[in-house]
Amino acid sequence: MQGKGFIKFLAILLGIVCVYSLSFNLVTSNVEKNAKAYAKGDPLKEKEYLDSMATVPVYPLFGFNYEFCKSKEINLGLDLKGGMNVTMEISLGELVKSLAGNPDDANFNKALSNAQTKLNAGGKDFISIFVNEYESLSPNGQLAEYFANQDNAKDLKANATNSEVKNYLQKEATSAIDRSFIIIRSRIDGFGVVSPNMQKQEGTNRIMIEMPGVQDKERVHKLLQGSAELQFWQVYQNEEVYAVMENINNTLAATLKDTLSTTASTDTAAAKTESKLAGLSKKSTGADSLDVKKQEMSKTNPLFAVLSIPTYQGENGQPALRPGPVIGWVAQKDTAKVNAYFARPEIASIIPPTFKFMWSVKPMEATKVFELYAIKVTSPDGKPDLGGDAISDARADYDQKGRPEVTMYMTGEGAAKWKKVTAEAAADANNKKAIAIVLDNMVYSAPTVQNEIPNGISSITGNFTVNDTQDLANILKAGKLPAPAKIVGEFVVGPSLGQAAIDNGLLSFVLAFIVILIFMALYYNKAGWVANLALVINLFFIMGILVSLGAVLTLPGIAGIILVIGLSVDANILIFERVREELLLGKGTALAIKEGFKHAMPSIIDSNITVLILGVILYIFGSGPVQGFATTLCIGILSSLFCAVLISRIVFEYLLEKSSNITFGNKYTIHAFKDIAFDFVGRRKIYYIISSVIILLGIIFYFKNDGLKLGIDFKGGRTYIVHFDKSMDTEDVKSKLTPHFDNETPEVKTAGDDTELKITTTYHITDQNAQSDKLVEDALKAGLDETNTKYTIESNQKVGPIIASDLVYSAYGAILFSCLLMFVYIIVRFKKVNYGLGAVIALFHDVLLVLSCYTILDGVLPFSLEIGQDFIAAILTVMSYTMTETVVVFDRIREKLAETNKPDIHGEERNRVINFALNSTLSRTILTSLTVFFVLLVIFIFGGDSIRGFIFALLIGRVIGTYSSLCISTPIVVDLGKSK
């Protein structure tokens, strides 16, 4: 085998990377274990401990701090951790109306209304739809009349065409979405979410947000949907504020003296315990002494114990107040304490009315320390010196020395106010003042004004990166025009459900893995153990790569890993079956292994490429759980190829060098599936009839059941998972809820056993009112209260009608696009159109059969058979099964044709070759199918209710895929190519 050295080097390098990536979980787990021991069940103390460790080096080798290690550990999805998934939609209709100055023109407003309606029905580009609607209603109308003005004259001329206006609006819409993304991200960072995941859904006006561990839905709604308020304030200098801060500190010391003296001894003991647990120093007495000093300081200087005044060493060697607008540095964990100090009545009374304290939006670089500013209130009504409406534009730019800066442009009215404010700030040449840029009461920047700015064009410089200037430019533009963001979809998972998902997922994972290892060892004997070794290495690589890429691990992701492990066995089975054939021809073990790998490679490459194509399509068209499944599928396929083919080959080479006796079966399995000569082609009409009958029954049941049961993500609505303390009757619960939903009957199903119900309703789903969510939830609780049974709402999901229509079209696109790619790939690879047609017809056949099974079995099985995103993922995976099986058979046909030196054959000779190909690969087809089937069966039984419907689709798809590849796709080639 050539390149063994390089493969070993690559495997070792990849192993080191995976060990490094997975090591962060061990480090953080150890710190969190110490936190739990210290807290003794007190969540507040546990959080305080972890906050205190944020900037402390905890990684033994590299000295990384806990915060860094936490950001590098594996990310668990909401279904494994609990939390909220929210989809925000930026209201482009209101943006366009605001840009036009809120005109009263009937056609203009009708065009906006029509555009929104078409967007709800599945349209994509709101701006293009709006322009087309306006031109339809006003054929001679000029949009520039509404949008061109003095403030945007450099971007849009007064005589601009409608096409130019459309380009301008699309640019503004993109900018509005970017600005909203920045603002929402900063709000979430301030919320304190660990590892939030935010994504702009490209090509739409939506932002997807995942917040693990967050359960306070009302607070999240208020946080995300509040309108941004950009303000400009003058700022007090550090030396102007110190006397006030000292007065606050002294007043606190006097009022807190009794309380602190009572608790000092307890806190000191706790501090000692924390020091020991943290293990930061072997000299624990020094740490204890430091904590005692801190406790003593908290009695005499309570404010200054948590707030550091910025100072520097003066020329005389003594500390002096540092000039500038920052009046204090406070650790993140102590900001709440400082806020509480300021809010105390005795402190609020001594703070001058012209003072307003605000925090920096993010901590100082590489720290968990926030800056505190004292805003100067100059107007009697307490309003800022300037509002966000004064900004006409802001751009990330570079100064003359090539350093990043932000250029800010004011409106005409804003420029006059800006001139006055900057003149006051720069009046004293020896003491120039700063102006704070504030959004949502957080200071984003506080640049010092060097000179009066008379023309309304300002340059903001500082220690900026390119990303900093882009973010600040977006913040400055945020207050320019209103583009409200609304929650159009949300999914809340309670922590109890998340833990159950973890337990079920891990159990199914371990059991499925054991099933595969036992099967391979029993069936292929010593060669099976080689395959098992490759599987273990493969699993290690998959997890390491997932962590290193920062991928989010979800329950469907775990299913994807297990599925990949099952599919990776396919490569080993292909190789081992070919080795067996070579051994039966009388070849030696070494030569048989070499020939087996050589002959199996084309089938392995072709089958894995087809599945990889499907994985990419799943990733592109899917979202959330489907993308998680696709990510692990794609990574797993590449890793499996490396391990099953290259790693296992190196192990075999090693065993051959050691003259080990390598066996590929035992007396019970070595001759399995030999001398089989089943006439698949001759019986093809029987299979056509069987498939036709099942599809016909599916059509009958489709109309009988009033169509397919669409899930919430395909029809829109709200779904709640409710756990009761006892078994509940679904019809009784439905009758209790209906009156509270204005006689709109909800859908009530069991979700597992009779104590868990899944309640779905479209009540108020089209209502854009921010209170509609609370209204529906109150109605739900009112109905559930009438059952007189204790209940818990474990999770809820909301999908707006726009998202639902988008998902439907994405699903159609995913299936059709994948069929097209499969068709093209087969034609290119096998150079025969009838092969491509046979494969694609088989794909459509499989989709119809799976849908038919769903309609026939709907209501018969004790779990939901809904058509949703997970089902589409299952359909595409089923298609990949069929393609994998079919390609293996096509490869054997191509190999047989090469032996005859004929480009193609026809008639009875073709039938014999196709039957030979099907029978010679039958052992591999059945073994792979059974392996994957049993793996899926284990997941189905132990994987939990959340993925049972998804796995069921894969189970029946596995059966249908095997049947289709043997009895449909390849025999169709015969009927499509009867004549030359």
Distances (CA, A) of 693 to 681, 852, 858, 937: 19, 10, 18, 26
Is the pLDDT higher at 932 or at 282? 932
**pLDDT tens track for 232-248:** 899 999 999 999 999 99
What residue has token string 């032996």?
899
- Who's near 651: CB < 8 A, 6+ residues apart? 530, 533, 534
Copy the structure tokens of residue 904: 């193609």
| Cα gap 64→67, rounded to integer Å | 8
Single-letter code of the amino acid located at 494: G
pLDDT grade for 226, boundaries at 50, 70 and 90: low
Tell me what the mean pLDDT of segment 811-824 comes to: 76
Check if the beta carbon of residue 426 is closer than 8 Å to that of residue 432: yes
Pick the range with the lowest mean pLDDT from 317-321, 519-523, 629-633, 749-753: 749-753
Contact 295, 51 (CB under 8 A): no
pLDDT for the residue numbered 541: 92
The span from the CA of 564 to the CA of 541, in Å, is: 12
| Mean pLDDT along residues 571-575 | 86
Query: Is the pLDDT assigned to residue 454 strictly greater than 60?
Result: yes
As a whole number of angstroms, the distance between CA 478 and CA 393 comes to 10
Angle at 260 between CA 254 and CA 262, to 5 degrees: 125
Distance CA 579, CA 191 (A): 60
Q: DSSP per residue over 724-746, as a string? A: ESS---HHHHHHHHGGGGTT-PP
Whether residue 37 is predicted with pLDDT greater than 70 in this model: the reply is yes
Mean pLDDT over 494-511 rounds to 68
Mean pLDDT of 568-573: 83
Tokens at residue 245, please? 């801060």
Q: What is the C-alpha separation between 34 and 273, in angstroms, rounded? A: 11
624: pLDDT strictly greater than 70:
no
Does residue 695 carry a pLDDT above 90?
Answer: yes
Which is higher by pLDDT, 490 or 783?
783
pLDDT tens-digit readout, 685-694: 899 999 999 9
Helix (H), strand (E) at residue 338: helix 335-343
- Residue in the structure block whose two tokens are 């998959």: 542
Statement: residue 273 has pLDDT above 50:
no
Bridge partners (DSSP) listed for residue 66: none
State mean pLDDT over 631-655. Answer: 87
Mean pLDDT of 897-902: 71
* pLDDT band with cut points at 50, 70 and 90 for residue 275: very low
**Mapped to the 3 state alphabet, what secondary structure does 550-587 carry?**
CCEECHHHHHHHHHHHHHHHHHHHHHHHHHHHHHHCCC
Residue 284 has pLDDT above 50, yes or no: no
Q: Amino acid identity, residue 932?
A: V
Mean pLDDT of 867-891: 74
DSSP characters over 362-399: SPPTTSSEEEEEEEE--STT---SEEGGGEEEEEEEE-
Among 362-376, 453-467, 535-549, 902-916, which stretch is predicted with the lowest mean pLDDT? 902-916
The pLDDT of residue 203: 64
Residues 184, 178: Cα–Cα separation, whole Å: 10
Cβ neighbors of 643 (< 8 A, separation 6 or more) are: 534, 535, 537, 538, 541, 568
**Contact assessment for residue 695 and residue 849, using Cβ atoms and an 8 Å cutoff:** yes
- Using the predicted structure, report yes or no on whether residue 978 has a pLDDT greater than 60: no
The CA distance from 665 to 966, in Å, is 25
In the predicted structure, residue 12 carries a pLDDT above the cut 60: yes
- Residue pair 241/374 in contact (Cβ under 8 Å)? The answer is yes
Taking the C-alpha atoms of residue 74 and residue 303, their distance in angstroms, rounded to an integer, is 38
Query: What pLDDT, on a 0 to 100 scale, did the predictor assign at position 373?
Result: 94
User: Can you point out the beta strands (E) in 280-368?
Assistant: 307-308, 311-313, 319-321, 326-331, 355-360
Tell me which residue of 29, 28, 47 sits closest to 274, measured CA to CA.
47
DSSP codes, 130-142: HHHHHHHH-TT--
Weakest-pLDDT range from 37-41, 376-380, 859-863: 859-863
d(CA 666, CA 93): 71
| pLDDT value of residue 803 | 55
CA angle 891, 897, 898 (to 5 degrees): 90
Other CB atoms within 10 Å distance of the CB of residue 327: 26
832 or 191, greater pLDDT: 832
Q: Residue 260 has what pLDDT?
A: 46
Helix (H, G, I), strand (E, B) or coil at 195: coil
Confidence (pLDDT) at 582? 87
Res 376 pLDDT > 80: yes
Q: What is the pLDDT of residue 800?
A: 62
The least confident of 133-147, 689-703, 737-751, 856-870 is 856-870
Per-residue pLDDT tens over the stretch 902-937: 666 667 777 888 888 888 888 878 887 887 788 778
Most confident by average pLDDT, 93-97, 574-578, 591-595? 591-595
964 neighbors 677 (Cβ within 8 angstroms):
no
Does the structure show a pLDDT above 60 at 192?
no
- Assigned token pair, 462: 């500082």
Question: Residue 432: is its pLDDT beyond 50?
Answer: yes
Residue entry with tokens 């709604």: 221
Structure tokens at 739: 């009156």
What value does the mean pLDDT take over residues 804-824? 71
pLDDT one-digit tens code per residue, 414-425? 888 888 888 888
Pairwise CA distance, residues 974 & 971, whole Å? 5
Q: How many CB atoms lie within 10 A of CB 639?
A: 25
Residue 113 has pLDDT above 70, yes or no: yes
Instruction: Find, among 687, 684, 704, the residue nearest to 852 by Cα.
Output: 704
Residue 625's pLDDT is: 59
Q: How many other CB atoms sit within 10 Å of the CB of residue 942?
A: 17
At 411, is the pLDDT very low, low, confident or very high (cuts 50, 70, 90)?
A: confident
Handedness of CA 715, 717, 721, 727 (dihedral sign): negative
For 578-601, b/e burial (b = at least 16 CB within 10 A) is bbbbbbeeebebeebbbbbbebbb
Least confident span in 95-99, 377-381, 598-602, 865-869: 865-869
- The angle subtended at Cα 691 by Cα 685 and Cα 692, nearest 5°, is 85
Do the bridges between strand 319-321 and strand 197-201 make them parallel or antiparallel, or are there none, so unpaired?
unpaired
Highest mean pLDDT (candidates 465-479, 631-645, 881-895) = 631-645
Closest by CA to 666, choosing from 522, 516, 518, is 522
Give the whole-angstrom CA distance, residue 485 versus residue 492.
Answer: 19
Burial class (CB in 10 A: 0-12, 13-18, 19+), 565: buried
Summarize the confidence of residues 113-120 as an average pLDDT: 82
Using CA atoms, how far apart are residues 512 and 601, in angstroms rounded to an integer?
26
Query: By percentage, how much of the chain surpasses pLDDT 90?
Result: 8
Instruction: Answer whether residue 304 shows pLDDT above 70.
Output: yes
Return the higher-pLDDT residue of 691 and 619: 691
310-363 pLDDT per residue, tens: 988 877 778 888 888 999 999 887 888 899 899 898 998 999 989 999 999 888
The mean pLDDT value of the chain amounts to: 79
